[in-house]
Amino acid sequence: MADLYYIEDDPNIALAVKEYLEQKNFRVTICVTLAQARQALKEHVPTFVLLDWNMPDGRGDSLCQWIRRNWKELPIIFVTVRGDSADIVSGFRYGADDYVVKPFELEVLHSRILAILRRTGNAAEQYLSCDGILIDQKRHAVFCHSEEISLGAAEYQLLLCLMQNKGKTITREKILEQIWDAKGSYVNNNTLTVTMKRLRDKLYQPQCLKTVRSVGYRMEDTI
């Protein structure tokens, strides 16, 4: 099931789109302000963004620019209340993949979304997120609440291992085997403890990174 964020403040339109797309196997989250959308994106990167042009707290193109700075490949369709050429040109300049003009047919919107996904694939798969911590696997980049964090190789691999298994407890033995032993570099338990401490410090002691006493570690959403 593909995740879609719909940034729209009109409840009638938002609910109609949500109900229709959920019948088409999308999981739809409605955000009624740009601020709410930013927070949702920090916590989880969806498969697709449907973005209304006029929002109570600003214009959609400002959010589009922000998305493109953080998630370059994330597909975006603008929704505009009129076929104004200036809005459309601005939208494409800031990185939108397509646009639809209100009122629109739900079938047309769905077909536009599918066409873009066929072209781009699921770009969200390259991103792993948990409580505002995000890994861009393609760029090997880590962000904590939009701040890029510089990690050493072992710290990055440790975070990646835990994020790839979010919600599961990973034993210390498994982590040592996957990160160090697999490369022929034998280390003891203290190396993992020290690496974990450095990782936690760099990520500002995140609540989502749990220690399971005498077993290992687990990443889980707390928000």
> What percent of the chain has pLDDT above 90?
64
Q: Chain centroid to CA 11: how far?
A: 24
Please determine, for residue 113, whether its predicted confidence score (pLDDT) is greater than 60.
yes
pLDDT of residue 83: 58
Residues in a beta bridge with 31: 7
Please determine, for residue 184, whether its predicted confidence score (pLDDT) is greater than 60.
no
- H helices then E strands: how many in the chain? 8, 14
Q: In this predicted model, what pLDDT tens digit does every residue of 49-93 receive, in sequence order?
A: 999 988 999 999 899 999 988 888 899 999 987 655 565 556 566
Domains and CATH numbers, the chain: 2-121 (3.40.50.2300), 133-219 (1.10.10.10)
From first CA to last CA, the distance across the chain in angstroms is 22
Q: What is the DSSP letter of 175?
A: H
Q: In this predicted model, what pLDDT tens digit does every residue of 5-19 receive, in sequence order?
A: 999 999 999 999 999
- pLDDT tier for residue 4 given thresholds of 50, 70 and 90: very high
